[in-house]
Structure 1
């Protein structure tokens, strides 16, 4: 009985898609997984919004513009 259960578990484990099977968007399953992992890493490294907000002290309002020259 134990052997039958082990055989069933091993057979079901082999039912997943292989890395070289076609996946979404014309890439393989492995490539899609790698792209998802890379996107997650980039999202984790994104700086907070206040760092990306423009600063008023960076561009003084009393300076002449380049268009006037």
Structure 2
């Protein structure tokens, strides 16, 4: 069977919407994992990566002094109260 040129080009018309929709990604306001939007999940992932890349300086890991500073009040565990 021989189709003329205009008829062949119309054969792709029913497939075009499916191809166009397949190219669409998730919208930023679509629900994402954990009950947050896609944009919020992306922002949380970026923040977590920034925190993981940051390293503490060695002096930040030094052990704190054993005695509390003046003016600090002890919590309920230190006084024996419940």
TM-score calculated relative to the size of structure 1 = 0.51
Q: RCO higher in 1 or 2 (8 Å CA, sep ≥ 6)? A: 1
1:22 to 7, 31, 44: 31
Give runs of ≥4 in structure 1 deviating > 3 Å: 48-51
Which of structures 1 and 2 has the bigger CA Rg? 2
Separation in 2, partners of 1:49, 1:24: 36
Runs of at least 5 residues in structure 2 that lack an aligned partner in the other structure: 1-11, 67-82
Offset, 1:18: 0.6
3-state DSSP class of the match of 1:25? helix
Tell me the equivalent position of 2:23.
13
Q: Count matched residues.
A: 50
Task: Give TM-score, length-normalised by structure 2.
Answer: 0.44
Counterpart residue number, 1:37: 46
Structure 1: which 5+ runs fail to align?
Answer: 60-69
**CA deviation after TM superposition for structure 1 residue 30, in Å:** 0.5
